[in-house]
Amino acid sequence: MSEPNVYRLNSKFVAESTEQWLSKRGVSKEQIGQLVMLLQKDYFPELTLAECVASVERVLSKREVQNAILTGIQLDVLAEEGKLLPPLQDMIKYDEGLYGCDEVLALSIVNVYGSIGFTNFGYIDKFKPGVLKKLNDKSSGQIHTFLDDIVGAIAAAASSRLAHRKQAEREEQQQAKSVGSD
């Protein structure tokens, strides 16, 4: 029997809110998919953007990822509005170099798909290609201290997921060939 005044989280609402906030902040699944493609194209030349976007969608379907996205975006928005207390306000507003909480939050996303994501994240965080360059542009007036790392982490996790799946596919094909040749 259900209890009338007990809080219950609506998972569909959380997922929809996550997608809406990404869109409001100027980030599409396709843009993240392009980052995945950049990270994986040398290893899997047959990889398509559609596969990359599908992997991004799988990463975005994870509740832990949604929680990180919503938390990071809200902190960025509060900093834009000047609603954080000092010194945190300035740390986030100016993306303080010694403030690493943005990366720590992003690493919670990377961890979902294993250690290969760390190297992908480190590379993309340093290089800042595609939508990450736009998110790091401070001239827009928007603050993306958390979001740029979160988007990079989503791409890194989706890349990791793809690498694991593609390796499994290769192994299955090799297994099928060896069984067929017996």
**86: amino acid identity, one letter:** P
What's the mean per-residue pLDDT of the chain?
Answer: 94
Q: Pull the structure tokens for residue 143.
A: 């603050």
C-alpha to C-alpha distance for 37 and 50, rounded to whole angstroms:
10
- The 10s digit of each residue's pLDDT in 103-159 is 999 999 998 888 889 999 999 999 999 999 999 998 989 999 999 999 999 999 999
C-alpha to C-alpha distance for 34 and 166, rounded to whole angstroms:
18
Residue 182 above 70 pLDDT? no
C-alpha to C-alpha distance for 89 and 10, rounded to whole angstroms:
31
C-alpha to C-alpha distance for 92 and 24, rounded to whole angstroms:
19
pLDDT tier at 2, thresholds 50, 70, 90: low
**Could you tell me if 152 and 106 are in contact, meaning their C-beta atoms sit under 8 angstroms apart?**
yes
Q: What is the predicted pLDDT for the residue at 178?
A: 84
C-alpha to C-alpha distance for 129 and 146, rounded to whole angstroms:
16
